[in-house]
Amino acid sequence: MNQHSHDPDALRARHRAVMPEWLGLYYERPLELTHGEGRHVWDAEGNRYLDFFGGILTTMTAHALPEVTKAVGEQAGRILHTSTLYLSRPMVELAERIAALSGIPDARVFFTTSGTEATDTALLLATAYRGSNQILAMRNSYHGRSFSSVGITGNRSWSPTSLSPLQTLYVHGGVRSRGPYAELTDADYIAACVADLEDLLQQTAGGVAALIAEPVQGVGGFTAPPDGLYAAFREVLAREGILWISDEVQTGWGRTGDHFWGWQAHGENGPPDLLTFAKGIGNGMSVGGVVARAEVMNSLSANSISTFGGSPVTMAAGLANLGYLLEHDLQGNARRVGGLLIERLRAVAAGLDVVREVRGRGLMIGVELVRPGTDEPSPEAAALVLEAAREHGLLVGKGGLGGGALRIAPPMTLTVAEAEEGAELLADALRWAQERLRDG
Ligand SMILES: Cc1ncc(COP(=O)(O)O)c(C=O)c1O
């Protein structure tokens, strides 16, 4: 087979020979996606798929959105790179828009090239500001792949080392329907998690720097606490001056439908001190960043730069993408179409014992699968459904401890017709997987 063949199996062999083993690929016969348009993508063999995962929630508006493509092309034709040593109009403009949208008073924005680097920056800021390397993180959390980020990852599938520059204490609360408090009412659940946090803080010597939390856990399988948990945590944290970092890498920009930021479901006690973002804002261009109030952002006592952070092409993409999202009220679309999709999926799930729970909000929907007739998470079922959905022309993602939950997060321009089509395709895949598991 020659090196330039379009055979995906040959490409897979080459991938295996040169890439790390831990870089996982979806599907028994991994896919090579070659182009996309709207909510659809095509593979190298010409098959078309409805995309319900958007390259891990990153194709936020649509594939090949003309506004973004044009902005990227025009900026690329002018200048690709200048560095943060020089003034950049697109960077300042995007920072202004994000600062205003963040809800954080006197906000400052620092751009990075990934969510991981945004996490790392938030941790650097919080630990420097507080003079402490102690961090509270949620069980079942994920915040990135760097040495500092895996040190606050409460999910062993994604945390390859126990070594860490930070001292991390894991808090209960991100997973509503499993764990020791699952049977409690929402109010009692929140009270129990707050009591756990207070107890933890009492046992901890020295001041804790910050709590970092995803309002809806992404890699964790789209699990979330009852609304209000982080507002209740905030009260406890505020007593000791502990900062709250909201990781909005997956939940930002209106994807959850009800709110522009995930933290707003817990908004009673104001915005977080720091907010991190990445993934969707660049629609595939690498844009990440941190927003913090000035006092926290300016607390570093040495210089810090990101050579590629805020590069002109990525900023132009972010501005065009965000402009499109706001002008077309894609948050409203996520609420309406996501609401319909979740209803359809709940109706399908009601007749299937392979599905334990359909959860989420807006266009961030998790479907937790179990071994039929049990409460045991079933990564096997999730893998079967992924394969079957692909065969039917639908791409979805996986998550949860060990990978037992499906993750559904289409581009936010999803239409009602596409939501209905996707729900039917997924229903077929779920039924097929359940049969397969029963047959043994
Ligand atoms: C909530 C959350 N934070 C941070 C990250 C890290 O982002 P990146 O993969 O861009 O480094 C991710 C990636 O999945 C994420 O889901």
Quote the strand ranges of 126-182, DSSP E.
134-138, 167-171
Nearest CA to ligand 1 atom 8: 115
Nearest CA to ligand 1 atom 2: 143
Q: Which of 109, 423, 406 is nearest to 287 (CA)?
A: 109
Q: What is the DSSP string of 196-213?
A: HHHHHHHH--S---EEEE
Instruction: Over range 277-299, report the average pLDDT.
Output: 98
Condensed to tens digits (0 to 9), the pLDDT of residues 38-83 reads: 999 999 999 999 999 999 999 999 999 999 999 999 999 999 999 9
Pocket test of ligand 1: the residue of 276, 279, 308 to mutate, having most ligand atoms within 8 Å of its CB, is: 279
Q: Is the pLDDT of residue 124 over 70?
A: yes
Condensed to tens digits (0 to 9), the pLDDT of residues 333-354 reads: 999 999 999 999 999 999 999 9
Q: Is the pLDDT of residue 218 over 70?
A: yes
Condensed to tens digits (0 to 9), the pLDDT of residues 362-371 reads: 999 999 999 9
Q: How far apart are CA 126 and CA 118, in angstroms?
A: 12
- pLDDT above 70 covers a percentage of the chain that reads 99
Q: How far apart are CA 139 and CA 105, in angstroms?
A: 29
Whole-Å CA distances, 123 to 133, 279, 290, 297: 9, 19, 10, 11
CA 325 to centroid of ligand 1, rounded, Å: 21
CB-defined site of ligand 1, < 6 Å: 56, 114-116, 119, 142-145, 214, 218-219, 247, 249-250, 278, 288
Q: Is the pLDDT of residue 407 over 60?
A: yes
Whole-Å CA distances, 349 to 42, 381, 427: 29, 14, 8
Nearest CA to ligand 1 atom 16: 218
Q: Which of 433, 265, 239 is nearest to 352 (CA)?
A: 433
CB within 8 Å of 18: residues ≥ 6 apart: none
The answer to whether 118 and 197 are in contact (CB under 8 A) is no
Q: How far apart are CA 328 and CA 157, in angstroms?
A: 38
CA 153 to centroid of ligand 1, rounded, Å: 11
Whole-Å CA distances, 47 to 50, 394, 395: 10, 11, 12
DSSP label at residue 282:
G
pLDDT band at 177 (very low <50, low <70, confident <90, very high): very high
The answer to whether 235 and 269 are in contact (CB under 8 A) is yes
The answer to whether 289 and 278 are in contact (CB under 8 A) is yes
CA 115 to centroid of ligand 1, rounded, Å: 5
CA 249 to centroid of ligand 1, rounded, Å: 6
The answer to whether 134 and 123 are in contact (CB under 8 A) is no
Residue positions counted in the chain: 440
Q: How far apart are CA 283 and CA 93, in angstroms?
A: 17
Nearest CA to ligand 1 atom 13: 144
Condensed to tens digits (0 to 9), the pLDDT of residues 1-43 reads: 445 557 888 999 999 999 999 999 999 999 999 999 999 999 9
CA 302 to centroid of ligand 1, rounded, Å: 26
Q: How far apart are CA 196 and CA 395, in angstroms?
A: 39
pTM over 0.95: yes
Segments in 273-311 forming alpha helices (H):
294-297
pLDDT at position 206: 79
CA 143 to centroid of ligand 1, rounded, Å: 5
pLDDT at position 1: 42
